[in-house]
Structure 1
Amino acid sequence: MAKEFTQEEWDKIFAELDRDPDAYGLPRRVYGSAVVGSFNVRKLGNARNRGPRTWEFLARVSQHFDLLAIQEVLDDMSGLNRLKQQIGPEWGMIVSDKTGTYPGDKGVGERLAFFFRWNTVQRGEVVSDITYDRSKVTKIMFENLDEIVALKAEYDKKMADYEAGRRKTKPKLDAPIFLSFIRQPFCVSFQIKGFPGTEPYKFMAINAHLIYGTMGDRKREFQALMEWITERVKENDRAYYPNFMLLGDLNLNYDDPDKDMPDIEGYLKSFNDAMGEEVNVNFPFLDVHPKHDVQFTSNVKQTQRYDQVGLFFREKGLPTYLDNEAMGKHERGPDYGVFNFTELFSVALLGKSFKELTKEEQNDLVDRYQYEVSDHFPIWIRLKLPDHQPISSEK
């Protein structure tokens, strides 16, 4: 089992972070801006499963955000409560019930949570899971009934072979179509307050941890969520708030990067044309940041882009995809980034960049914190606070 960081090593980590937090992408607190982020904290459950210095580190990271969506919170909330207590009373918290397993069934369900800073963020009245209702699911099933029947016949044959001893492993029955989310996304209404006399940014924040299965599974679930959001955004006269912000671990990894990456990015970027002039759609992490040479990765091994922020909005003031070329130009934003604590740990403990390590050294280092801290980086977007009136609803 990999050795956890010692007290002396944690001292080195905090000293290096204090020396230059910007070097590792930890967003600074800047007057006149708000930082919204997403962080999959691996198996955030029993508080005893992490050491005091780890909680100190996670709390320090969380304090840099005004609104933070957290994924992979387990049914045992003692760890989440400890983190909330450690970041202080300036933050509020709202959490979903367990999703991903039916009560009484085996399996590890998860909760989805938000931390929000009271003096910059106000929670609205609407809180809900995102689901496909029965009539929609029934329609999908009938439209794909032949495919479902064929798959069921194949499954029955494999099960008969298994029960007769001709097959070693019990077959799985995987739906060839989308029927329901593996974990119901969690939707909460928020306002980011502007300067006095200005209208706040009003939006529905969707916290999602989508399926990690086959590429087909991932695409189907992601497309279902995108369709739900875009259809709801179109209902401007009935939606509680006119804007939506998607935050989370969307598991957008690529089995074949050369093929899968352009397909997914093309699909996402097509929504701006599909939504017309009334709604802007922006996934900034699909683009290369102006101050970097390659797109950000969000897993600690720096190989995948699981985590994303997606903006769907009508109001002016929030960054469009055209603004991505100038991200980071102004201190107050807009901007976006990743807190790369892999690089922080490598420099603080080994004295050199993670990219300069051998493959064996990289694996040894990652094994020391991917369970204790997390296997995902926090990602973030900085929004310039409203400072003039009014905010138009035109594009």
Structure 2
Amino acid sequence: MQRYAILDQIADLSVRTRTVEGLTRLRAGLAAEIPDRTATRTLLLATWNIREFDSGKYGFRSDEAYCYIAEILSRFDLIAVQEVRDGLYPLQRVQQMLGPWWGYLVTDVTLGVSGNAERMAYLYDRRKVRFTGLAAELVLPKPRNARVAPVQLARSPYLAGFQAGWAYLTLATVHIYYGTSKPNDARRLAEITAFSQTVAGAAGKLSAAPQPAPGVKAEPGNLLLLGDFNIFNRQDVTMEGITRAGFVVPEPLQSVPGSNVAKNRHYDQIAYFRRLSRMRPTGRAGVFDLYEHVYRLADADLYQAERQVRPGRSFKDWRTYRMSDHLPMWIEFDIDDADAWLAGRVAAPSQPLALTS
């Protein structure tokens, strides 16, 4: 496979051996926890904040780290990625490792101190997922009768439309402002609320499904929020900012652990607006704890030399700049709606098939 060719470029035999052993453990862990990808029946959707990807803040990522990141991404069909930094090399390198059949969409850099020179991105396997052409960065509208324009989100949310199997999806990914270490930070709550309400209010205009002639009912499509909301707990008022706008966290995700390394914070979320069309959760979802397999605490001594490039951080923290301080969150959807559509032909034989391949 193309992504393993990088192993031959690692000159240090001990590092190459360590990487092969890490990949072997990682592959076994992924196979045990994440369902196999299918050609047409299911969609594996994920969101992952890849810390400072790749700012070089504590040294640029090594070939080893790229091997692990690409291996994890390869297990999904469509991934929303947050904290892509201003340089596009990391995203381009991962795409190259995944193979030429992978594509990505990415925003420009969000300017300003709070923007942290970040981009939002989507990675997707073009053999399975088709980009429909809808892509936009979200700008909060000025409320009617307001004297001044609203303060925009610290990092511009990114919306894009895709088709997978029978389902059309409009995804809106975001990295919400963190602020203070309080569950109900005022600006964080304001951003989550404004983001969710704005997307919900524009739902009728955001469908990625084909638009029929006037007077013909359109496919409703599916509108989903996903990304890093910096929500501490599912019972916090910040979570209510999403649910009050009409978004629903799929049941399989309502009981998974937190997505930070300690798994006690529910920073990352995936939620759909009101109902799903031509897709449904299979019941399989989770967060993947990559540190059970690579950059384990027991491996700290193996990385002593590399850590000296930028000393002063514990191994536990340093490794999050190799991989991330977030764990990837994922959910599997059934996207084969053929049986339901065929059954509907008896009741409504004149209804056209709106799907395109």
Change (3 A) 1:137 1:84: farther
1:383 matched residue in structure 2 = 333
Deviates more, 1:302-311 or 1:42-51: 42-51
Equivalent residues of 1:300, 1:366 under 8 A apart: no
Equivalent residues of 1:26, 1:61 under 8 A apart: no
Describe the superposition over 1:204-247 as per-residue Cα deviations: whole angstroms up to 9, x where unpaired: 111111111141111110000110122122x36x7554321111
Alignment of 1:51-66 (within 5 A): 51-66=62-77
1:222 and 2:222 are equivalent in the alignment: no
Which consecutive unaligned segments of at least 5 residues does structure 2 have? 1-13, 210-219, 300-312, 345-357
Larger Rg: 1
1:136 and 2:102 are equivalent in the alignment: no
1:232 and 2:223 are equivalent in the alignment: no
Q: 1:38 aligns with which of 16, 33, 47?
A: 47
> Take 1:106 and 1:305, find their aligned partners in 2: how far apart are those partners?
21
- Give the C-alpha shift of residue 261 in structure 1: 2.8
Q: 1:261 aligns with which of 228, 235, 243?
A: 235
> Take 1:18 and 1:129, find their aligned partners in 2: how far apart are those partners?
35
1:203 and 2:169 are equivalent in the alignment: yes
Describe the superposition over 1:110-155 as per-residue Cα deviations: whole angstroms up to 9, x where unpaired: 111111111111101221111113x32872759xxxxxxxxxxxxx
> Take 1:267 and 1:45, find their aligned partners in 2: how far apart are those partners?
31
Describe the superposition over 1:59-103 as per-residue Cα deviations: whole angstroms up to 9, x where unpaired: 1111111111111011111111111111111111111111142xx
1:275 matched residue in structure 2 = none
Paired residues, number: 299
> Take 1:52 and 1:139, find their aligned partners in 2: how far apart are those partners?
51
> Take 2:207 and 2:164, find their aligned partners in 1: how far apart are those partners?
18
Q: 2:248 aligns with which of 281, 284, 303?
A: 281
> Take 2:29 and 2:47, find their aligned partners in 1: how far apart are those partners?
22
Structure 1: which amino acid aligns with 2:75? H
Alignment of 1:1-395 (within 5 A): 6-23=15-32, 25-31=33-39, 32-45=41-54, 49-101=60-112, 108-133=116-141, 135-136=142-143, 139=146, 141=148, 179-193=151-165, 200-214=166-180, 215-233=185-203, 235=204, 239-241=207-209, 242=220, 243-253=222-232, 261-266=235-240, 268-272=242-246, 281-284=248-251, 287-288=254-255, 295-312=256-273, 314-319=275-280, 333-345=282-294, 349=298, 364-388=314-338, 389-390=340-341
Change (3 A) 1:19 1:190: closer
> Take 1:76 and 1:314, find their aligned partners in 2: how far apart are those partners?
37
The alignment-based identity, stated in percent, is 24
Deviates more, 1:30-39 or 1:363-372: 363-372
Which consecutive unaligned segments of at least 5 residues does structure 1 have? 143-177, 194-199, 273-279, 289-294, 320-326, 328-332, 351-362
1:146 matched residue in structure 2 = none
Change (3 A) 1:336 1:54: same
Change (3 A) 1:34 1:364: same
Change (3 A) 1:285 1:131: farther
Describe the superposition over 1:323-374 as per-residue Cα deviations: whole angstroms up to 9, x where unpaired: xxxx7xxxxx242111111222377946xxxxxxxxxxxx955224111111
SS at match of 1:59: helix
Structure 2: which amino acid aligns with 1:192? A
> Take 2:156 and 2:230, find their aligned partners in 1: how far apart are those partners?
15
- Give the C-alpha shift of residue 263 in structure 1: 3.4
- Give the C-alpha shift of residue 39 in structure 1: 0.9
- Give the C-alpha shift of residue 108 in structure 1: 3.0
TM-score, scaled to structure 2: 0.73
Structure 1: which amino acid aligns with 2:264? T
Change (3 A) 1:85 1:306: same
- Give the C-alpha shift of residue 15 in structure 1: 2.4
SS at match of 2:140: coil
Change (3 A) 1:390 1:369: same
Change (3 A) 1:106 1:305: closer
> Take 1:218 and 1:11, find their aligned partners in 2: how far apart are those partners?
41
TM-score, scaled to structure 1: 0.67
> Take 1:80 and 1:56, find their aligned partners in 2: how far apart are those partners?
13
Structure 2: which amino acid aligns with 1:298? S
Describe the superposition over 1:10-62 as per-residue Cα deviations: whole angstroms up to 9, x where unpaired: 33322222334345x44532452111111111111368811111111111111
1:173 matched residue in structure 2 = none
> Take 1:348 and 1:27, find their aligned partners in 2: how far apart are those partners?
27
Q: CA RMSD in A?
A: 3.2
Change (3 A) 1:262 1:285: farther
2:5 matched residue in structure 1 = none
Change (3 A) 1:137 1:114: farther
- Give the C-alpha shift of residue 302 in structure 1: 2.2
Structure 1: which amino acid aligns with 2:65? T
Structure 2: which amino acid aligns with 1:261? Q
Change (3 A) 1:367 1:7: farther
Describe the superposition over 1:265-304 as per-residue Cα deviations: whole angstroms up to 9, x where unpaired: 45544455xxxxxxx733547621xxxxxx4111123231
SS at match of 1:139: coil
Structure 1: which amino acid aligns with 2:159? C
